[in-house]
Chains A and B, each alone.
Chain A
Amino acid sequence: DTEVTQTPKHLVMGMTNKKSLKCEQHMGHRAMYWYKQKAKKPPELMFVYSYEKLSINESVPSRFSPECPNSSLLNLHLHALQPEDSALYLCASSSPPQGIGYTFGSGTRLTVV
C-alpha cells in the first residue's frame, strides 16, 4: 500500500458545526502532516506529527485541533470555523528525514458556510 487516504473528499459545514477530517497511511511512515491550500497559493504547513507526537504547530488557531491516535492515523478536528477557513486540506506522510519523499493524500475540499 503506497497511498495516503483522506476522508471525506468534500465537506460543507456551518460555522457552529463540529466535524473531523481523517487521514490514513500504511506505509510505515512515522511523520505525518496537515497542509492547507487555498486557490492559487502554495500548500501551507499547519501541523507535523513525528512518532505520534506533535512536533510542529505553525501558530494555527485553536479551532483546528489535530490528533494522532496511532502511527497510521491522523485526524483534524474542526470547530467553530470561519468562511475564510474554506480550503483544500492536504494530509501527507514521510519517513524521516522529513524533507524527503512526502506522499500526499488527495485532500479534503472544505467549505464553511
Chain B
Amino acid sequence: DQQVKQNSPSLSVQEGRISILNCDYTNSMFDYFLWYKKYPAEGPTFLISISSIKDKNEDGRFTVFLNKSAKHLSLHIVPSQPGDSAVYFCAASAGNTPLVFGKGTRLSVIA
C-alpha cells in the first residue's frame, strides 16, 4: 500500500509560468513533509519542507502548501526556470520514522 502518492508521472510547463506538483498521503500520523529534487545520475537533494503544524512554507521561488484535512500537499515553483527540470519526490515521516517517498514527478520546463 502506497502511503505517499504522486499521481502525475510528468508535467511540462513553459519557462516563467507556475509549476504545481501535487502529493497525497494516506497515513494520518505523518507530521513532517519534504520535497526532494533529483537530476539524472545524482542523489536526491533537499528542496523544502513543512511541518504538520503549518499550512504554508515559502523559500524563494518555492512554496509548499499543506492541507491536512485533505491529506494533500503541493509544491509551487514561480517562476519556473529550465534549470528546474528534474524529478521531484514528495516524502513524509511520522515522528522519528524513516522517510517514505512518492514515485516522483518529472518536471520539464520548456524555454
Chains A and B bind each other:
yes
Size bin of chain B's contact surface: 20 to 34
In the assembled complex, A96 has its CB within 8 A of some CB on chain B: yes
Q: Which A residue's beta carbon lies closest to that of B5?
A: A42
Does B111 belong to the interface (CB within 8 Å)?
no
- Interface on B for A, CB 8 Å cutoff? 4, 9, 32, 34, 36, 41-46, 49, 89, 92-104
A106 and B43: CB pair below 8 A?
Answer: yes
CB < 8 Å: which of A42, A48, A90, A98 contacts B43? Answer: A90
Query: Interface residues, chain A, CB within 8 Å of chain B?
Result: 4, 6, 33, 40-45, 48, 56, 90, 92, 96-107, 109
The answer to whether A41 and B49 touch across the interface, beta carbons within 8 angstroms, is no
Contacts of A103 in B (CB 8 A): 46
On whether A100 and B49 interact (CB within 8 A), knowing A42-B104, A48-B98, the answer reads yes
Q: Flag if A99 contacts B95 (CB, 8 Å).
A: yes
Least distance between A21 CB and chain B CB atoms (Å): 13
Residues of A with C-beta under 8 A to B46: 101-103
Nearest Cβ in chain A — how far from B38, in angstroms? 9
- Tell me which of B32, B45, B103 contacts A104 (CB under 8 A): B45
**Chain A residues near B95 (CB, 8 Å)?**
97, 99
Nearest opposing residue in chain A for B42, CB measure: A106
B92 and chain A: residue at smallest CB distance: A99
Q: Which of B44, B46, B94, B100 has the most CB of A within 10 A?
A: B44
Contacts of A102 in B (CB 8 A): 34, 46, 99
Which chain B residues border A97 with CB–CB below 8 Å? Answer: 95-96
Query: Which 8 pairs of residues, A with B, have the shortest CB-CB distance?
Result: A99-B93, A104-B43, A42-B101, A97-B96, A106-B43, A99-B32, A104-B44, A42-B103
